[in-house]
Amino acid sequence: MSYRTALAEVLTRVVAPRAELTGAEGRFPRGAVTALGASGLLGLTVSAEFGGAGLGLPEAAEVVARTARVCPATAAVLQAHYAAVAVIEPYGSSWVRGEIAAGRHLSSLALVEDGTGDQELLAPSCAAVRSGGVVALRARKRRVVAAGEADSYVWSSRPLGVPDGLSLWMVPAHAPDLFVPARPDVPARPDVSGPSGSATSTVLADPVLVPADAMLGADGDGYDIVRRTVLPWLCELRAAAGAEGFRRTTDTARSPVGSLTPEGVRPTAGSLTPS
């Protein structure tokens, strides 16, 4: 089954019926995320070797754009997830990649600490202190999409042992001493808080302990990874969501999903094809 058919089915059957409630009440679209995982769309960009569809940024941007026409919150969650997976795919463990491909793992980005610009992604103040095989990360990460809802965060810190750059980590969302403050029901500033329902909030590490082998890439190499991978993915995915979001608000007469899918189709994870 093509990823387009799988997406159309999920949008029609799950996302569209709940989109208004998600936006109005600020509820995280858990049902949509579960359906996207079961349909193989969370694993869209994971290598076929691990059960993913093995596709890339153009296909991810298409999925985000079509989702944004129906539910901006779900599209925001997908943006953060696909950008995080772009880092996890070359540097993460085989187990995590397999879990993402199977639709059982949602990831997000925890890179911003102060300010609201993308340049803040390149200058973390988060301290990283190693003791044996454990690293303590202490920081307040802002504008984290799916905060308290994702299964992991791609987390940035100052390097452990090199003078320049930054380091990236895979931080389990269930780790002790990781806190998400209460979120407002409806964000007052979507540019900072994200679309209503996207669970965009602050995540506090006071500190959070991770294994030393949870580092994604080499110590200090996170600067280049963010600049060459995360930022291009975020820019492309945001552009896709923004274009469709504008179309959604100015073309309300058109049905968001209409006749995109045949009835009765129930896609399964790991069965997607490129077209």
Whether 44 shows a pLDDT value over 60: the answer reads yes
pLDDT tens-digit series, residues 55-105? 999 999 999 999 999 999 999 999 999 999 999 999 999 999 999 999 999
Which pTM value belongs to this model?
0.87
Spacing of C-alpha 239 from chain mean position:
15
Spacing of C-alpha 227 from chain mean position:
17
Q: Where are the beta strands (DSSP E) in 46-161?
A: 107-110, 127-131, 134-144, 152-157
- Of the candidates 103, 11, 52, 90, the one whose C-alpha atom is nearest the C-alpha of residue 274 is 52
Instruction: State residue 255's pLDDT score.
Output: 38
Q: What is the Cα–Cα distance from 73 to 82, expressed in whole angstroms? A: 14
What are the tokens at 168? 């990236």
End-to-end CA distance of the chain: 8
Confidence band for 192, pLDDT divided at 50, 70 and 90: low
CA distance readout (Å), 159 to 144, 162, 175, 220, 273 = 21, 6, 21, 5, 40
What are the tokens at 89? 């795919």
Phi, psi of 71 (to 5 degrees): -150, 100
pLDDT tens-digit series, residues 95-133? 999 999 999 999 999 999 965 455 567 778 899 999 999
pLDDT tens-digit series, residues 224-273? 999 999 999 999 999 999 865 434 433 433 334 333 333 333 334 445 76
* DSSP secondary structure, 214-267, as one string: GEESSTTBHHHHIIIIIHHHHHHHHHHHHHHHHHHHH-TTS-SSTTSS-TT---
Spacing of C-alpha 154 from chain mean position:
9
